[in-house]
């Protein structure tokens, strides 16, 4: 058995995967809601992650399973700050904390935006770990002066499990401190930012064994002391492994609260304008690019809570299925939380455009489903501009669960889309990495071949593809128009 753990925003999930790559058990424990002391702030207590991890592990091991290796994944970009004794200095600033705009501007000024992309393959964004550290340096210098170690959320849980400070290169790509092309810390960026290299944990490839369960953690969790722990990956890298997105040309489109289009590449492919993230892949020797829609599934949730609190999601989508492709001209731009790809604009706002006297609630629902897919289509457009191959698309998250949204995505993207028999998420991918690290599978390709099967392929329909091509052209004109109105 191999244990995969996902330290998410809302909770920690633990899964067991057997020697055939099949799910053998799972358990979850919720986190306390993250705190927002001020608008745009988002903080969590790392000790709460550790509490939830212990509970989830104990519950999943209640069947008496013997775990041969552990892998971890979790929310990316968080800043966990520890002192010389490994004690947490302050609540962690997590991925959705966007207070650090001034720190991003400072990095672009002192390093240069283009130079920063050369060094780290990414521009400075408020989500990234380094910008959070710089905010603490400026606003809480007494805390900054005591920092001895910095980690991301799942790596803090690993520290509590093993006593080891470690991080994988995929996760480290989201800190803005990694030389992504060479898979090592960037000495230049760290020096300019005033981050001592001694603070940075040792780097590993995702399937590598980097630590072992400590005696103390064994007593608290029920895991056996000495059990090997693989480095793992951030949630997007581990989720891609769990969907088999390993080879160049393989692409996933995952709709959760946010939406991500993820493509594996053979070499680091930088977007000179920084509209896409370029990270090390969880697969050794490979990279990935991804575009992010901030409010993907969130758009549908917002619609339901605001306009149809008495309806289920199935009720809404059933009605929307009776509306023709293109929603009779109604468009939705899903910028409820600003937007990352391709606009890099935290001030962007959402809008319905094209409302008439005949517009119904079903039109609004279908327009939201289509607008989210149009937003993700923006990433496919960038892939085409940058020469990133797309051989097919695997759908994940909530966007893969309903037939209407699957059909809309296939027709808007213009590619055959696959739905997996079971999509178990990042924890499943982390467990497969643990199995590779333990030597059960020779590599991640073999692990995925054992554990992943395709349930359905959705082919795009030419008439709908043409209708959506027209709709997408209109969608692309909405953002500049709104920008002109709202500044």
Catalytic residues, which ones?
235
Contact 10, 53 (CB under 8 A): no
Return the number of other C-beta atoms located less than 10 Å from residue 229's C-beta: 25
Given 3-state DSSP classes, what are the helix, strand and coil percentages for the chain, each rounded to the nearest 5?
40, 20, 35
Q: Which of 198, 267, 208 shows the shortest CA–CA distance to 233?
A: 208
Instruction: Report the sign of the C-alpha dihedral through residues 478, 327, 296, 431, in that order.
Output: negative
DSSP code of residue 42: -
Within 13 Å of residue 244, how many CA atoms lie on the same side as its CB?
A: 21
| Nearest-angstrom CA–CA distance, 95 and 243 | 23
Contact 476, 334 (CB under 8 A): no
Q: Which of 181, 165, 178 shows the shortest CA–CA distance to 266?
A: 181
| Nearest-angstrom CA–CA distance, 95 and 79 | 8
| Nearest-angstrom CA–CA distance, 178 and 435 | 26
Return the number of other C-beta atoms located less than 10 Å from residue 400's C-beta: 25
Q: Greatest CA span in the chain, whole angstroms?
A: 68
3-state secondary structure of 103: helix
3-state secondary structure of 90: coil
| Nearest-angstrom CA–CA distance, 339 and 293 | 6
Q: Which of 250, 245, 243 shows the shortest CA–CA distance to 392?
A: 250
3-state secondary structure of 109: helix
């Amino acid at each position: 058995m191999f244990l995969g753990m996902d330290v998410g925003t809302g909770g920690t999930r633990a899964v067991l995967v057997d020697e055939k790559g099949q799910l053998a058990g799972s358990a979850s424990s919720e986190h306390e809601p993250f705190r927002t002391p001020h608008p745009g702030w988002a903080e969590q207590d790392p000790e709460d992650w550790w509490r939830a991890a212990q509970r989830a592990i104990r519950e999943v091991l209640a069947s008496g399973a013997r775990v041969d290796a552990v892998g971890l994944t979790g929310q990316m970009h968080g800043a966990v700050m520890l002192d010389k004794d490994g004690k947490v200095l302050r609540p962690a600033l997590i991925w959705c904390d966007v207070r650090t705009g001034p720190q991003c501007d400072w990095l672009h000024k002192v390093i240069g935006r283009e130079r920063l992309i050369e060094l780290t393959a990414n521009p400075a964004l408020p989500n990234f770990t380094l910008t959070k550290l710089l905010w603490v340096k400026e606003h809480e210098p007494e805390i900054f002066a005591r920092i001895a170690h910095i980690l991301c959320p799942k790596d803090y849980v690993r520290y509590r499990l093993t006593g080891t400070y470690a991080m994988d290169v995929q996760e480290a790509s989201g800190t803005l401190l990694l030389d992504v092309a060479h898979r090592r810390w960037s000495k230049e960026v760290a020096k300019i930012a005033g981050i001592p290299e001694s603070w940075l944990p040792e780097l590993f490839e995702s399937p590598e064994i980097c630590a072992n369960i400590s005696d103390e953690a064994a007593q608290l969790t029920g895991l056996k002391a000495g059990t090997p722990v693989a480095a793992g990956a951030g949630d997007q890298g581990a989720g891609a492994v769990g969907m088999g997105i390993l080879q160049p040309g393989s692409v996933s489109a995952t709709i959760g609260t946010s939406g991500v289009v993820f493509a594996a590449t053979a070499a680091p492919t930088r977007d000179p304008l920084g509209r896409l993230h370029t990270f090390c892949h969880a697969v050794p020797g490979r990279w990935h690019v991804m575009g992010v829609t901030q409010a993907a599934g969130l758009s549908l949730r917002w619609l339901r809570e605001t306009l149809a609190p008495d309806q289920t999601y199935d009720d809404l989508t059933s009605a929307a299925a009776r509306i023709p492709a293109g929603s009779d001209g109604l468009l939705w731009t899903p910028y409820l939380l600003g937007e990352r790809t391709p606009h890099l604009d935290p001030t962007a706002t959402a809008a319905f455009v094209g409302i008439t006297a005949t517009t119904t609630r079903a039109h609004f629902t279908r327009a939201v489903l289509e607008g989210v897919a149009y937003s993700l289509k923006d990433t496919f457009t960038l892939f085409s501009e940058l020469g990133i191959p797309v051989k097919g698309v695997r759908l994940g998250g909530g966007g893969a669960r309903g037939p209407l949204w699957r059909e809309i995505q296939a027709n808007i993207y213009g590619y055959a889309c696959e739905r997996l028999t079971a999509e178990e998420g990042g924890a499943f991918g982390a467990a497969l990495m643990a199995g590779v690290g333990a030597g059960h599978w020779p590599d991640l390709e073999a692990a995925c071949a054992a554990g992943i099967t395709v349930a359905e392929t959705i082919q795009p329909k030419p008439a709908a593809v043409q209708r959506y091509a027209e709709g997408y052209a209109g969608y692309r004109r909405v953002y500049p128009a709104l920008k002109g109105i709202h500044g």
